Structure 1
């Protein structure tokens, strides 16, 4: 008597599954596009960034470590790190040779 009111369960399940799959694929595609665009923006920011203040400080420190000079405030003599290390190695070798 009410045959026309019955719901076609197979068709409803098929449409539901297809809708879920299409939605999931769309969400994943949007996520991939978002992260690709975010990576592009981040790489552009890094490429355009300049660390001028940090580079100046590092340059000044490097210059201090590799130059000879006298500190005008206290009269201390500055010697390059590489020269100090060579001197320490020579002293250590001499001390080792004298002890043996």
Structure 2
């Protein structure tokens, strides 16, 4: 009988295993390249980004809390935030001293 009709099973398995290994290595390499490119793109985007919208909003807010004026809708007088904080501290201190003097006057018996 002729041997040329037999299949070379070892060679078929070898080529199959080699194909699986090459496919797996290629998939891993593509994944590594993909994540590297995503990371470098994100880094580049964050380096080149500007916060124009946020900065303009902050500037508008700082302008509104640091100036004098009158609110057209409510008619309230607007003063800078620093001055408002100082006034609040002064009012608090004067209220505390008034409460303390009132307590002292109540605790002293009348000399009548």
Normalising by the residue count of structure 1, what TM-score does the alignment of the two structures yield?
A: 0.67
Q: Is 2:37 aligned against 1:37?
A: yes
Match of residue 17 from structure 1: 17
Aligned residue-pair number:
91
Structure 2 unaligned segments of length 5 or more: list them.
101-112
From 63, 79, 83, the equivalent of 2:85 is 83
Match of residue 53 from structure 1: 53
CA contact (8 A) 1:70 1:77 kept: yes
CA contact (8 A) 2:71 2:77 kept: no
Which secondary structure does the structure 1 equivalent of 2:50 belong to? coil
Structure number with bigger Rg: 2
Match of residue 108 from structure 2: none
CA contact (8 A) 2:70 2:77 kept: yes
Match of residue 3 from structure 1: 3
CA contact (8 A) 1:68 1:77 kept: no
CA contact (8 A) 1:71 1:77 kept: yes
Structure 1 unaligned segments of length 5 or more: list them.
none
CA contact (8 A) 1:69 1:78 kept: yes
Q: 1:60-75 alignment to 2 at 5 Å? A: 60-65=60-65, 67=66, 69-73=68-72, 74-75=74-75
Normalising by the residue count of structure 2, what TM-score does the alignment of the two structures yield?
A: 0.61
Q: Which runs of 4+ in 1 moved over 6 A?
A: none
Shift of 1:76: 0.9
